[in-house]
Every structure is written in C-alpha cells, then in structure tokens.
Structure 1
C-alpha cells in the first residue's frame, strides 16, 4: 500500500471516529434533556432563552426563574394543602380519600421519598404503597391530582421488577394489562411509578424521590 493510500485511509478512519463520537454525544444530550423534561418538579418548565443563548427554568406557580435544574420538592412556595372533604373521605380516616371500596392517601406537596422510603411511609400510615387492582384506579388518581398538587410529575406505586418480571408484591393481583406511558418501559429502573399527567405507568430508578400514594382496604 502506498504512503498516500495509507494517509487517506487514516484520514477516513479518524473522520468516522469523530462522526461516531458526535452522534453518541448528541444521543446522550438528547436523552438527558428528555430526562430533565420528564423529571422536573411540579410547576417547572425548561425553556430556551435567546438573550443568554441557553436554557433557563421557569416556575409557573411562583414566577421564580433559575439557570440550573430545580430538584424535586424545590418549587418555591408550594400550593396550599387541599383539605379532604367529608364526601371524599367517606368511611376512611382523616386525610384519606374513599373510592372503589379502598382508601387512598396522597403525600403532601413536599413529602417525597425514594421507593423504599415511600413503602415505609405508607406502612407507618397504616397502608401500603399504591397497587392497582383496577385499570381505572390510576386514572381516578390522575383526576384527583389535578386538584391536589404534588411537587413531582410521578408518584410511586408498589410495583417492582423481579427476575425480569413486574409484580405488585405478595398477596396482590397479578400484574396484567398494564397501561404504559409511550416508549415505556425503557429499562431506566426497576421500580414502578405513575406519570401523573396521563395515569400511565413508567419504570423509574428506585432511589429517585417522588411523591407517593398509599392504599388500604376501606
């Protein structure tokens, strides 16, 4: 092989490496952007600001603007707690909502936990982390959360992935006919959350802190 041919081949190889590196960086950047967009706490939006030629984060509840991503639960002054009416409470204890012969407890605006932390919190409340017996339960919660604001876009359920299969835990119905958010599960985690804007399921890293919903028999 001539020297010119060797140099040409080397140039082509280097160019291919550069293109591949740019592609990987772009994919990583897009993935991170999507993660931040999905994971922003309640009230926050990521927007491009032409004045600074970069992204800013705006809270539509408080009017706060910042240059760095907000953490879960950091939403300035959260909305005032919404009291559970006597009609909503039904036969449940104070702070819980009655529906479908069950009682549901929604964690306070700033009460966010990891998956294991949420399980422990529900146990302390006298219930279990939310598990779905009926498809429409998560949609009931979606509608309820339109009034009862939480600081995260997801809430934890009791669902976990064991040996490659999802389940609700011992003593609960089989995990069947799940309604997944588009593109999910994507393998990002082994704990199950509900995306509050749709009522659909999403796999999430268990250590992430989200609001949570507890459930117990009425």
Structure 2
C-alpha cells in the first residue's frame, strides 16, 4: 500500500523579511549646450594670423626692403639726394650708431658697400654729366679701390663697347684729378693697355669702357658719353 505524503505549512518566528534594496533614481542627463565665445574672438585670431604672416615675410626677405620716403627722423637734415628722390630701396646692414640698421639708395640705383651708383641711359659731355650728377645730390663716380672697380666692371659688362664717364679729368696733360679732390694714385688706377696715351690736349676726360677686363679706363675727348653718378648710401 503506497504511503500517503502529507504537506504542512511551517512558519518561523523572528525571521527577517527579505532585504529591500533601494535603487536611486536614474541621474538626469545634463543637456549639452554649445559654449559661447565673445564675438570679437574671430577678429583677434585673424589679426594674430596676419601679424604672423607679416613677420614670416619679413624674415624670409630679410635683406631686402623697398620703402617710400623712409627719412623722417627728427634732427636729421635731409641731404640733396633725399630731397630729390621719393622711392628708395634698402638693404639690411650691421647696426651702427643711433640704432640704424638699413642702407638705402634711390630706386633704380645700384648699391655697393657704402655707396649708391646711377648708370645713365642718355649721353652728355663730361661737364654736363658732372652737373647732372650734382643736381641729383651726387657726383661723377670716384673709384678708390679695386673692389669698387670690379663691381662697376661687372655691372657694365652688358652691353659691351660703351663708354661711361667717371669723375677723373686732367687739368693739364697727365695731371689727373678726381672731382671730390681725392688724390690721384697710380696704384688705384685701372687704365687699359697703352692708356692713357695723353694724345695732345684734346683727351682730358676719362671713361670706363664696358668690358669684362678690370683694367678698362680710357682717356678721350670730353664729348657725349654715358655717365656713372655716385652718392653715399643713406642709413636709417
């Protein structure tokens, strides 16, 4: 005979109720609001970028600057050259007194060491040439060193076969004198072979004959030729 299974409900006293875990409510997500910038900030950034570009250009160019009327320092008396020309080309130089660091020549003139040189495109007599140079605040070129002669020779190589007056002239046959009263020296003279020939008293003026040879001076008649004017470079 199968045994009968009896079920009974049993209750325990002092039993702890099931622990209830309180879950905190879900944290509310913060809404994302775009950060506001002052309206002038883009302009400031653009200005800074512009200044950076300008500084970069100056750094790259470095040794060359073209300026218009760069001479406004109080106490400096403008030279005749400065009063004559409005546009100038300046190259960087070693700082020298009064914080000046640029050497300037009129636009279109050649710069070498401390001087500016003008090579004319028209012809005049020697006297007219010197008068023309003086009117620009300069004088016919006075050549003092071999380096200066080499510079001018290089500048005059193209085209060849052209004569340019320099500031050397004879008061009497064989008595050469520079226009600025610099003493004439044979050691700083660059005559062509067999020159000067002192041909009578009709070859009293001196030209540079454009060629690749550094010894290219020639005495000839004071007729119409091109000219080279020289003036001291202006420092700013």
Distance 2:183 2:232 in 1: 14
Distance 2:180 2:156 in 1: 27
1:105 to 118, 128, 133: 118
The residue number in structure 1 matching 2:139 is 128
The residue number in structure 1 matching 2:151 is 140
Q: Does 2:178 match 1:168? A: yes
For normalisation by structure 2, the TM-score amounts to 0.49
**Does the Cα contact within 8 Å between 2:89 and 2:104 map onto a contact in 1?**
no
Q: Does 2:203 match 1:193? A: no
Extract unaligned runs of 5+ from structure 2: 1-87, 92-101
The residue number in structure 1 matching 2:225 is 210
Distance 1:126 1:95 in 2: 15
Report how many aligned residue pairs link the two structures: 130
**Does the Cα contact within 8 Å between 2:123 and 2:224 map onto a contact in 1?**
yes
For normalisation by structure 1, the TM-score amounts to 0.53
Distance 1:155 1:90 in 2: 25
The residue number in structure 2 matching 1:14 is none
Cα shift at 1:102: 0.5
Distance 1:153 1:169 in 2: 22
* Deviation sequence 1:148-203 (CA, Å, 0-9, x none): x48x6110011011233112134324333212101111124011111111342111
1:155 to 152, 164, 169: 164
* RMSD, aligned CA: 2.6
**Does the Cα contact within 8 Å between 2:190 and 2:217 map onto a contact in 1?**
yes
Q: Secondary structure at the match of 1:215?
A: strand
Q: Which has the higher helix share?
A: 1
**Does the Cα contact within 8 Å between 1:168 and 1:175 map onto a contact in 2?**
no
